[in-house]
Amino acid sequence: MNYIDGLRMDTNNLPNGMVFNARIKFMERVCEVLSNNELPKYHFPQIQLSEKEITAFMEQNIQLNEIEFQTMSAHLEKFDRNLGDFRSYLQTRFGYWATITQDFVASLVEEFPKQSFLELMAGNGYLSKGLRDLGVDTYCTDDLSWAKYNQTGNLKMTSIESLDALSALEKYGSHVDNVILAWSPDREDIDLKILKKIRQMNVNFLIIGEKYGATNSKEFWDAAELIDDPRIEKINQSYSHYDLVHDQLYLVK
């Protein structure tokens, strides 16, 4: 039984669980398009249940006797907890870490028009795939040294040149307008080394991450100068915040 089937089983245990079908169908569609080597079209809605949804569902089932109500509450809690595993499922099953969608990439290209990109530590190349689909000159690089841990690098969306981040900067950094890095690991210091090297170059440094959170090292966030830029604010309107992780796009100096 896969993850989506498990969610459907959860709703089968709930009275009128079909009210959650639209949510599950959206999640299933995301998995389908990723399996088909495509990017999801639109940024994600909130996946886990809001307090308002939970309260409304409880009130709709207030007629249940005490034992039935307690059972329903337990099933609802389990369902909501399993919804919260969607990000982990996408990371493990597809190596899909940053929530790269077509509308996000389109906004990125609109705000940085006629510019070229170098993606570092690209994983399966979701971001480069989106850029290339829009005709943007993009170098996609990753030595895939961490691919053995999950599906990162095993389900390539586009051609990826085998280069570690610093070698990629050395080779292509002077040939592009923008260097972009998404979801650098939080226990590695490579991001700080990248930042120091980029500061010697005339190039924009864009990262997707969660400040002092799920991505990037503490040393990186301590050293990074985050630039307020209306272009970044506009692009982030198309970036998905669908759970407790609050990653976004940053322009870094």
pLDDT digits (tens, 9 = 90+) for 186-226: 989 999 999 999 999 999 999 999 999 999 999 999 999 99
What pLDDT score was predicted for residue 144?
78
Assign domain 102-252 to a CATH class: alpha beta
Evaluate if residue 1 carries a pLDDT over 70. Answer: no
Contact (CB, 8 A) for 215 and 241 = no
| Alpha-carbon distance values, 236 to 207, 231, 239 (Å) | 12, 9, 5
| Alpha-carbon distance values, 156 to 33, 34, 81, 108 (Å) | 14, 11, 30, 22
Q: What is the mean pLDDT of the chain?
A: 95
State the span(s) of the chain assigned CATH 3.40.50. 102-252
Over 14-52, what HEC string results?
CCCHHHHHHHHHHHHHHHHHHHCCCCCCCCCCCCCCCHH
Evaluate if residue 150 carries a pLDDT over 60. Answer: no
Contact (CB, 8 A) for 96 and 122 = no
What pLDDT score was predicted for residue 153?
58
Rounded distance between C-alpha atoms, residue 66 and residue 78, angstroms: 18
What pLDDT score was predicted for residue 148?
54
Who's near 164: CB < 8 A, 6+ residues apart? 143, 145
What percent of the chain clears pLDDT 70, i.e. is strictly above it?
A: 96
Decide: helix, strand or coil at residue 250. Answer: strand
What pLDDT score was predicted for residue 155?
83
- Pair type for strands 178-182 and 248-252: unpaired
Chain centroid to CA 191: 18
Contact (CB, 8 A) for 10 and 79 = yes
Over residues 29-53, the mean pLDDT reads 96
Over residues 146-163, the mean pLDDT reads 77
pLDDT tens-digit series, residues 237-252: 999 999 999 999 999 9
Lowest mean pLDDT among 82-86, 89-93, 124-128, 142-146: 142-146
What pLDDT score was predicted for residue 4?
97
Who's near 107: CB < 8 A, 6+ residues apart? 234, 235, 237, 238
| Alpha-carbon distance values, 180 to 43, 121, 131 (Å) | 19, 9, 11
Q: What type of residue is 128?
A: S
Over residues 98-118, the mean pLDDT reads 98
Evaluate if residue 149 carries a pLDDT over 70. Answer: no
**In the structure encoding, which two tokens stand for residue 138, read together?**
């993009």
Rounded distance between C-alpha atoms, residue 190 and residue 168, angstroms: 13
Name the H helices within 98-201: 102-111, 126-133, 165-172, 190-198
pLDDT tens-digit series, residues 118-144: 999 999 999 999 999 999 999 999 997
Which one has a higher pLDDT value, 217 or 1? Answer: 217
